[in-house]
Structures are given as C-alpha cells and as structure tokens.
Amino acid sequence: MNRSTPWLQSRPTAGNPRVRLFCLPHAGCGATAYHSWPAELPAFIQVCPVLLPGRETRLSESLYTQIEPLVDAMDRGLRPWLNLPYAIFGHSMGALLAFEWTRRLQRERHPMPDWIFLSGRRAPDTPDDTSLLYSLPDHDFIEQLTRRYNGIPQEFLENNSLMEVFLPILRADIAVVESYSFREGEPLDCPITVFAGANDKSVSWDQLFAWKRHTRRRFAMHVLPGGHFYPQHPMLQTISTTLSELHP
C-alpha cells in the first residue's frame, strides 16, 4: 500500500485485514507518529497512517493552510482505499480533519466508517476563547504553542536546522485549525468515541462532551491521565476492544 499512493505510508498487514484504521496527524506531524501502532493493535486491523503534503517523503509538495482544500485532496487520495470496512482516528488537528472528511462522505452518500475516534480536540461548534497563534513572530509562536500543548520535541527546539524545516509545517497546520469555521449539518451516521488528557489545557470537559451532538449513533468519552499528548496505551486498548467487537 505504501507504494501505491503518497497519502498512505502503511506496511502490508500479515494475512487479510478485516478493517482499516486511517490515522490522521496532529499539527506539524507526519505518518511516523503511528508507526508503532501495528505492534499494539490486533493483526486484523490494518493501521493506515495518513501522510499530508509538505512533510516527510512529501516535503517538496505545497502545504495547505485551509481545511476545505486539504479535505478535498485527502478525500481524492484516500477514497480508493475505502473498499474494506474502516474506522478513522484523528488527534487534535487530525480530529478536525477526521470529522470534516466523514461529513463529506456522508453528504456524498459513500460508505461510512464503522467508527470515528477523536482525540485532544474540542467539538467544532464550541466557542474557542484562546488567542490566535498563526501570525505570531517565531519566538512567540513557539513559546505559546509549547505552553498550550507542550508537544514540540526538545531535540527540535535545540536544533536550528530541524526547526527551519519543522516550523513552516507547524505554522501551516495551525493556520488550517485557526481558519476553520464550523457549518451546520446533519449529525453523523456513525459512532463517535472521544479521548482527552485530564490535564489538557486546550479542551474542557464540556467541549469534549459536546461531540455527542454530532452523532446519531453511539457516543463514548474517555478522559485519561496526562496532558494534550497523554500516554496512548489505554486509548489503543479501547480502540482494539471496540473494533474487535465489530469484527469478531
């Protein structure tokens, strides 16, 4: 699969997968964030990390700064791979991409995901009282991001060459999130499970629970120990259990 489309960097799964799990990244992130997941999930789940333009092996491609054209391009790239039952996971910016992609699929009457798992992101119709970061000077941009999310690796912060590559990617992704404007639509015809760290300063309990309004199916919420980048093992256990019950 990883040689068939630039959008997917997935290694072939042993045997025949019964479900694909498309994994959408947080701001500044590539597909490598999900490379450990196949070892932590059952073999019947084919983990499909989505690689957005402008990073890793797609570094020469233009970055997106608006969500609608990004979802358009992502949909065209991934639609051929919806020929198996599938689920979608997204963390932070990835949760927003997962939600808007699923809305598009529903509007256009395509097969819906079995489940969507959304992490570290407030519901899209809840007010955001945080200050905008995209246009800040580099030093202030990094300082505010670190204070809010604590997600920039220390080795990046200490390496000017890495930051020269990483900062434009991060800034473009933050623009995707901050320029987003929610439009009313029908609730999703698929279940939603949301996750967040108990100490995540970017999302409140009420903002997390508000995702319930966006599905007419089952809804679950899990608040886990940690911050915006909380330990993943309990979350992966929940995803594994959920998809194992759907695909015994």
Q: Using CA of residue 95, residue 193, residue 99, residue 243, what is the dihedral sign?
A: positive
Catalytically annotated residue among 10, 92, 119, 202: 92
Phi, psi of 224 (to 5 degrees): -115, 155
End-to-end CA distance of the chain: 24
d(CA 149, CA 12): 33
150 φψ region: left (φ > 0), alpha (ψ -120 to 50), beta (else): left
- 36 catalytically annotated: no
d(CA 96, CA 25): 10
Catalytic residue numbers? 92
